Amino acid sequence: MSAPHLPKVAGIDPEVPVSTQTAAPLREIPAAPGAFIQDRLAGWVSDLTTLHELTERLAATATLDAALNELLHAGAALVGARRGLLVLERAGTTTPSTTLGLGLGPADLGHLETVERSATALGRVLDGPPDAADARDGIATPDLLGDQDLDPRHREVATRLGYAASYALPLASEAAGRLGGAVWFYDEPGEPSEKQRHLVGLYARYATEHLARLTELERARADIATVAEELLPSRLPRIPGVRLAARHRTGPQGGGDWYDALPLPDHALGLAVGSVGGSGPSAMAAMGRLRASLRAYAVMEGEDPVAVLSDLELLLRLTEPARTATALFAYCEPAARKVVLAGAGHTPPLVLGDRRCEYVETTLSAPLGMLACWEAPSVEFSPAPGETVLLYTDGLLRRTGDAMDRAFARLHSAAASVPKADRRDPAAVTDHVLRAMLPDGLDRSDSTEDVVVLAAHFD
């Protein structure tokens, strides 16, 4: 009689003997298979977040100087350094166009300049072939003072300034080429890790593109400012009994604000300010034509400011019917202390003296180019000895960001606050008014408004 078979259970063979040895008790819970990957992903996300924040801060910079400062600080944070040096070079030259230090004073920069260029890591990334490995990965010098081949002058400067290691990186990209280079200094021997090099390399390539755009933008702004200055008086005339001063700032796109001062027969003086609608090269060209035309009309009919502006209105309407402009022309006789002026949609002059600070009451009139026939009464007034007549464009008021009525009040307050010791100097008057009206400075680059101020002080 055969032995009975044990019942079979799915997946278990009952005939396989069971081990008599028991497994050791589980003392630790093993890590999940994806924990390492999760840590790596978390690290990548953290690095990308940091890189994103730094590039956003860089992208928010609107001037080249601000971008260079941001680049130096961000690069130092990425590589773990405290000090740094950045050099920009003009294309095709080895002459630095901009040198900027982080944690380095002018004397420190002077010491660094005494080291031969080829003996430094920064010099090698600047002068090396663009496709060299150094141009991609940078040059790390982990122990400067321990390097037996180090240039003696470089060793002396490193000892004097107290840095022991450096990491140099070119500012280059495929689209922009090589613009310059940066180097960061360590107080102790060391070098950035592979991850740090990768992050700062990505950041530097993005920064290079941004710097290239800002460089072109600033070059264009400089060209526009040069053209605008050439369209305005190269110097102010000298007329007995009156002293002149002018300040002018052209917006980044080029605008149409202008001023003029020209000597007229019988020791008279013509003063004019105006603004052409629009911006850019077209507005600048129109401004030049308008100013030249007004000069011609002023020589022929300067004693009658209304006739001067009427002729200007006719010319503008016939030659440029789609354009508008404001203008103010004043005929001055310093010996007789007489000023006759007319304005076309322009802001009224301001008279400043020891006993008064007030706007000249002018008639309300439309800008040039808005009426079929422009004509408005002229205004005559007599400045007292020691008084200054201030002419300006509305760009000065708009730059404040205030409503026009508040901007006018602010201008009046700024003029009234000129110290008495400065009221007989037209240049000091204009500078004080500009400082009071524009605390951030006349050359603030984020404003699109032109600014013109012309001051005439009567002795």
d(CA 394, CA 238) in angstroms, rounded, equals 27
Residue pLDDT, tens place only, 20-63: 445 555 565 555 556 767 677 776 778 888 889 999 999 999 88
Residue pLDDT, tens place only, 288-313: 889 999 999 999 998 999 999 989 98
Greater pLDDT, 210 or 38: 210
What mean pLDDT do residues 264-291 have?
A: 88
Residue 228 predicted with pLDDT over 50: yes
Residue 212 predicted with pLDDT over 80: yes
Residue 19 predicted with pLDDT over 70: no
177-186 and 268-279 beta bridge pairing: unpaired
Residue 374 predicted with pLDDT over 90: no
Res 444: pLDDT: 59
Res 432: pLDDT: 95
What mean pLDDT do residues 305-322 have?
A: 89
d(CA 380, CA 336) in angstroms, rounded, equals 12
Res 406: pLDDT: 95
Indicate the average pLDDT of the chain: 85
Greater pLDDT, 13 or 124: 124
d(CA 34, CA 46) in angstroms, rounded, equals 18
The structure tokens listed for 298 are: 């002023």
Res 45: pLDDT: 78
Residue pLDDT, tens place only, 150-180: 999 999 999 999 999 999 999 988 888 889 9
Nearest to 73 by CA among 89, 94, 48, 53: 53
Angle (deg, nearest 10), helices 281-301 and 305-319: 140
d(CA 271, CA 33) in angstroms, rounded, equals 84
Residue 11 predicted with pLDDT over 50: no
- Per-domain residue ranges for the chain? 61-223, 233-458
- Check for a shared fold between 61-223 and 233-458: no
d(CA 392, CA 397) in angstroms, rounded, equals 9
Percent of the chain with pLDDT over 70: 85
Name the CATH code of domain 233-458 (choices 3.30.530.20, 3.60.40.10, 3.40.50.11690, 3.20.20.150).
3.60.40.10
What mean pLDDT do residues 236-242 have?
A: 93
CATH fourth-level superfamily of 61-223: GAF domain (3.30.450.40)
Greater pLDDT, 241 or 281: 241
Res 131: pLDDT: 60
- With 0.85 as the threshold, say if the pTM is over it: no
Res 173: pLDDT: 85
What mean pLDDT do residues 209-227 have?
A: 83
The structure tokens listed for 219 are: 């070059």
